[in-house]
Amino acid sequence: MEQKTSSTPLRMWREERSWHDAETEWDNGAARAAESSPIQSLKHLPKMVGITPDTAKNLKWKSLKWMIAKDHQRKILKGFLKHPLKYTWQLLKSSFKKKPFKRQGDFFLYGLNDLAEFESLIQDEKALLIVGFSYCHKPFECPSGRFSPDCIHDPLNNVCRQCFIGKAMNALPQKNSSSMCIPTIHDIGAEIFRLIDLHPTKMLIFMITACEMTLEMFGDWGNMVALKGIGIRLDGRICNTMRAFELSELGTKPGLTTLLPPTQSKILELLHLRYSSINQ
């Protein structure tokens, strides 16, 4: 799903604008929107473990079972069968590792040694950057609906203006980028397979937000397609049990997730690097 441009002519992040000016204008508008039409937010962060001990048992098997059993539209199977031997070998190699990722704080690194390596990759203007935000991070008032891949990220919409996803989507350069909100793990998997087929000679990198359990469960599948990228851990009302995850994948997510302020700042720093490399 290629990034959709905002339906309004207003766009803070433009080539002729400095990043600082654009971000300042966005934040000032967000403050004004919050005064007139505040959106619901977490009043405090709940103390929740990333994965409960019972859920952590045999998590790789649970992931495999989920990907196969819940692939009702054969989204993953169709992509897998295009290169079955290669994908099987890469999935097995990853599965035998204790962890399919390396970790730096809220950032889970796939196919990378450290965050600095991703900072270097994101500045390659020829690389296709895939950006995804879990739908549970959307505000309840989202004009596109929560359980949906859509995001209008309209700067003139009071909800979008207060939403971090809206800010990030507007700051993301349109050139060589694809973005979506993620309803289910099969949706993002299908989108990645689609982009691999569409750009067979291009390097694809990704930056995706998700709960810690999801980043742990499906890391092997990211390694299967040999993409490099980062998963970014969500906080708040996360899924940390299989039952919560199952309900979330069906669109039942009564709570909000969020990104901690330092994590938000780092994401914007990464987007700034991308912006600078594209507009230099």
Domain assignment present for residue 188? The answer is yes
Per-residue pLDDT, 44: 87
Per-residue pLDDT, 184: 93
Domain assignment present for residue 88? The answer is yes
Domain assignment present for residue 3? The answer is no
Backbone angles phi, psi at 218, to 5 degrees: -110, 15
Give residue-wise pLDDT tens across range 54-101.
Answer: 999 999 999 999 999 999 889 899 999 999 999 999 999 998 888 899
Q: Who contacts 92 (Cβ-Cβ below 8 Å, separation ≥6)?
A: none
Conformational region of residue 149, where left means phi above 0, alpha means psi within -120 to 50, and beta covers everything else: alpha
Per-residue pLDDT, 4: 44
**pLDDT(259) > 80:** yes
* Dihedral angle of Cα 97, 222, 206, 164, to the nearest 10 degrees: -90
**pLDDT(102) > 60:** yes
Domain assignment present for residue 237? The answer is yes
Per-residue pLDDT, 9: 42
Instruction: Tell me what the mean pLDDT of segment 104-123 comes to.
Output: 96
Q: Which domain holds residue 106?
A: 19-279
Per-residue pLDDT, 10: 52
**pLDDT(280) > 80:** no
Give residue-wise pLDDT tens across range 233-257.
Answer: 999 999 999 999 999 999 898 889 9
Instruction: Tell me what the mean pLDDT of segment 105-119 comes to.
Output: 96
Angle at which helices 164-171 and 261-279 pack, to 10 degrees? 20
Per-residue pLDDT, 16: 62
More confident residue, 84 or 43: 84
Supply the DSSP string of 146-170, one letter for each residue. SSSS-----TTSHHHHH-HHHHHHH
Domain assignment present for residue 212? The answer is yes
**Considering the entire predicted model, what is its pTM?**
0.91
Instruction: Tell me what the mean pLDDT of segment 195-212 comes to.
Output: 94
Instruction: Tell me what the mean pLDDT of segment 119-140 comes to.
Output: 95
Maximum Cα–Cα distance across the chain: 56
**pLDDT(117) > 50:** yes
Domain assignment present for residue 12? The answer is no
How many domains would you assign to the chain? 1
Domain assignment present for residue 182? The answer is yes
Domain assignment present for residue 7? The answer is no
Instruction: Tell me what the mean pLDDT of segment 5-31 comes to.
Output: 75
